[in-house]
Amino acid sequence: MGVLVKDTAGYETGRGILSGCEQKIMNETNLKKIKALNNPKILEIIEKFIDHCKPGKVTVITDSQEDIEYVRELSLKNNEEQRLAMQGHTIHFDGIRDQARDKANTKVLLPAGVKISSFINSKDREAGLNEVLGFLAGSMQGKELLICFFCLGPNNSKFSIPALQLTDSAYVAHSETILYRPGYEEFKGCGDDFFYFVHSAGELDARCNTANIDNRRVYIDLQENRVFTVNNQYAGNSVGLKKLALRLAINKANREGWLCEHMFILGARPEGKDRVTYFTGAYPSACGKTSTAMISGQSIIGDDIAYIRAGEDGRAYAVNVEQGIFGIITDVNPEDDPVIYKALTTPRELIFSNVLNVDGVPYWLNMGKEIPPAGINFSGEWFEGKKDQQGNPIDPAHKNARYTIRISELGNADERLNHPDGVPVSGFIYGGRDSDTNVPVFEALSWTHGVYVGAAIESETTAATLGKAGVRKHNPMANLDFLVVPLGQYIKSQLDFGNRLNTPPKIFHTNYFLKEDGKFLNSKLDKKVWLLWAEGRIHNEYGAIKTPIGFIPKFEDLKQLFRQILAEDYTKADYETQFKLRTKKLLEKLERVEKLFAEEEQLPAGFMEQFEQEKQRLTETLQGFGRDCISPFEFPPVTV
């Protein structure tokens, strides 16, 4: 290994060119690919983990189509994926206990003495490194290590971050070739400024699934911009460039003064108007994020993660970190999701995971057609009535089953999907699942107020997905699960970013789940009206009504939009029921938010001022009207 030194974790690293030991498992062609990068840090990382994980073979994957095809075929050869009947379609199964992100064992490694928000799962850095490196030691014996290079963000862009992936799973590498842009060329001259990820599925069982799930670990090392993940295959845990890289990028963004957000990017395109207006949006799980990103007639740039920077013109610009979608397939059907459904049922490169396979045809829950009574799924041979070891029924497809596809394969892909300058963002949209408090859409009073609105997001759990229904969970910017910096620091970064802009985006809030007497007050299609109202607000085409929580639409504007967009008659009764101000419920929410933020240190003064001001406005409104629910017609319209 050449000269051996100790790194900060205390394990040995090699420096210099790859030794004869490595050359026995890496042929000359692959060795040349590494040396061509002329990057000592990459050589050091590769040497270190070849020696530590002990793979039987090492293959370097560049940007070439030949290398990418090699990965795809290797996944089939290794039985990590199987071909389906339709051309280009394959299927992958994770183990029955490896079907979702492992929040309990996903931890941020902190040096001794460093504090972080209490809700962030953390572990002593030295102890964590020793543990996870212990699990990785020898984990690739008899397997092939794939060394892959990707780009987080568009190629040749100031937004982008090179990402190095080491994995013994061809499925992981294949998924990344679909989800992320090629990055081998990006590494030439990048120096030390890149992320890297080391993954091993560990020992495999007869179905080629991870055998030692109890030893599953996902550890994020902010100090070295790296993530270690072992004994798992589910993409949310194993594909380092996704939610694991999100955490590294949030840390980097907070240091450097830009934003890394858990946001979609869409282009709003009102009919009859020659313009496109770009929005980003953040929604907790099961709150309408993907369905908003895919609203009919609009264009999509991304459905999950955005990097946002200030442009030279003083506006915010955003890029999609990814070029693909790792999307939940449950409920995707031809009526509600025609664009995605068409892509999933026509020939193209596409990975299904954890759906039902019946003679090469995939089936998933609520897809709009009958599911056969038997087939192959994540549990093995499946049949109606099959139960797990605890006696619970096993669904034909998992509720968290997924599809992996390039966005360019969708009919509504935006033409600026890969533009290195990104797109100018005119609006942020935040939303949650809320049955009884917030109106369907409103606009924040200012950027600072909008940051408060985003930080105060709540979402109710649903019985179908999370057990007990109606439990309200606080999720600032829908990013809580991925924060690796103190919440106060994160909020301050949001405030500072907007204050540096000449024209900060307008901030909106939506709620698709308002109910009365147990019935939803809006249809699934209404979200298009709320989006295009927000788009019109950005272009000063609509007035508004100023309320204590923000600006709400005027009835006349919504009546016109419902007629134009949905060919529906929107009545005053509909409007009054949906947009009445439920002051007591709003004040109850403020009490919940206050308790949560009281636990945080160093919240910015401007943020807490917004909280106090909104509380005062709602209290005065309740006292002034002398009743709880106040009709929107009782507030004066404004022209702003």
**What one-character-per-residue DSSP string does 495-528 give?**
HHHHHH-SSPPEEEEE-S--EETTEESS-GGGHH
**What one-character-per-residue DSSP string does 606-639 give?**
HHHHHHHHHHHHHHHHHHHHSSSEE-GGGSPEE-
Confidence of residue 23 (pLDDT cuts 50, 70, 90): low
Confidence of residue 10 (pLDDT cuts 50, 70, 90): very low
CA–CA separation, 280 vs 51, rounded Å?
43
Q: How big is the CA angle at 299 (ends 298 and 300), to the nearest 5 degrees? A: 130
Identify whether residues 364 and 436 lie together within a single domain.
no
pLDDT at position 606 is 87
Identify whether residues 112 and 240 lie together within a single domain.
yes
**What one-character-per-residue DSSP string does 289-319 give?**
HHHHHT-TTSEEEESS-EEEEE-TTS-EEEE
Identify whether residues 21 and 144 lie together within a single domain.
yes
Place of tokens 């869409």: 266
Q: Is 63 within a domain?
A: yes
Identify whether residues 361 and 401 lie together within a single domain.
yes
Could you list the beta-strand ranges (E) of 324-413: 324-328, 350-353, 356-358, 361-363, 374-377, 380-383, 402-406
Residue 316 has pLDDT above 70, yes or no: yes
Residue 422: phi, psi to the nearest 5?
A: 75, -165
Identify whether residues 77 and 200 lie together within a single domain.
yes
Q: How big is the CA angle at 142 (ends 136 and 147), to the nearest 5 degrees? A: 65
pLDDT at position 212 is 96
Q: What is the CATH number of the domain that holds 481?
A: 3.90.228.20
Token output for 225: 């911009």
Model pLDDT for residues 250-262, shown as the tens digit of each residue: 999 999 999 999 9
- pTM of the predicted protein model: 0.94
Task: Identify the weakest region by mean pLDDT among 22-36, 240-254, 426-440.
Answer: 22-36
Model pLDDT for residues 38-76, shown as the tens digit of each residue: 999 999 999 999 999 999 999 999 999 999 999 999 999
Residue 579 has pLDDT above 90, yes or no: yes
Residue 17 has pLDDT above 60, yes or no: no
Choose the final residue of a domain: 256, 289, 306: 256
Residue 12 has pLDDT above 90, yes or no: no
Identify whether residues 237 and 203 lie together within a single domain.
yes
**How large is the average pLDDT for residues 506-525?**
95
CA–CA separation, 85 vs 379, rounded Å?
21
Model pLDDT for residues 344-401, shown as the tens digit of each residue: 999 999 999 999 999 999 999 999 999 999 999 999 999 999 999 999 999 999 999 9
- Per residue, the 3-state secondary structure of 90-128, as one string, reads EEECCCCCCCCCCCCCEEEEECCCCCCCCCCCEEEHHHH
Q: Are 307 and 260 in contact (CB under 8 A)?
A: yes
Q: What is the CATH number of the domain that holds 360?
A: 2.170.8.10
pLDDT at position 467 is 46
Place of tokens 């999307």: 327
CA–CA separation, 261 vs 483, rounded Å?
10
Q: Are 315 and 502 in contact (CB under 8 A)?
A: yes
Confidence of residue 130 (pLDDT cuts 50, 70, 90): very high
Whether 287 is catalytic is yes
Identify whether residues 504 and 526 lie together within a single domain.
yes
Q: State how many domains the chain has.
A: 3
Residue 5 has pLDDT above 60, yes or no: no
Which residues, at least 6 apart from 65, have a Cβ–Cβ distance to it below 8 Å? none
Question: Which residue range is the domain that position 313 belongs to?
Answer: 260-323+417-638
pLDDT at position 465 is 39
CA–CA separation, 333 vs 322, rounded Å?
24
Residue 274 has pLDDT above 70, yes or no: yes
Q: Are 423 and 265 in contact (CB under 8 A)?
A: yes
Model pLDDT for residues 489-513, shown as the tens digit of each residue: 999 999 999 999 999 999 999 999 9
Residue 405 has pLDDT above 60, yes or no: yes
Identify whether residues 287 and 367 lie together within a single domain.
no
Q: Is 411 within a domain?
A: no
Task: Identify the weakest region by mean pLDDT among 115-124, 417-426, 492-501, 541-550.
Answer: 115-124
Identify whether residues 452 and 585 lie together within a single domain.
yes
CA–CA separation, 90 vs 82, rounded Å?
5
Q: Are 575 and 558 in contact (CB under 8 A)?
A: yes
Q: Is 129 within a domain?
A: yes
Q: What is the CATH number of the domain that holds 141?
A: 3.40.449.10
Q: What percent of the chain has pLDDT over 70?
A: 95
Ranges of H-type helices in 418-526 = 447-455, 463-466, 487-500
Mean pLDDT of the residues in the chain: 93
Residue 488 has pLDDT above 60, yes or no: yes
Q: Are 173 and 233 in contact (CB under 8 A)?
A: no
Identify whether residues 497 and 574 lie together within a single domain.
yes
Confidence of residue 21 (pLDDT cuts 50, 70, 90): low
Identify whether residues 244 and 279 lie together within a single domain.
no
CA–CA separation, 136 vs 121, rounded Å?
21
Higher pLDDT, 404 or 459: 404
Choose the final residue of a domain: 387, 406, 425: 406
Of 21, 151, 287, 629, the catalytic one is: 287
pLDDT at position 254 is 96
Residue 242 has pLDDT above 50, yes or no: yes
Residue 9 has pLDDT above 80, yes or no: no
**How large is the average pLDDT for residues 235-258?**
96
Confidence of residue 13 (pLDDT cuts 50, 70, 90): very low
Choose the final residue of a domain: 256, 280, 309: 256
Identify whether residues 487 and 595 lie together within a single domain.
yes
Q: Are 314 and 503 in contact (CB under 8 A)?
A: yes
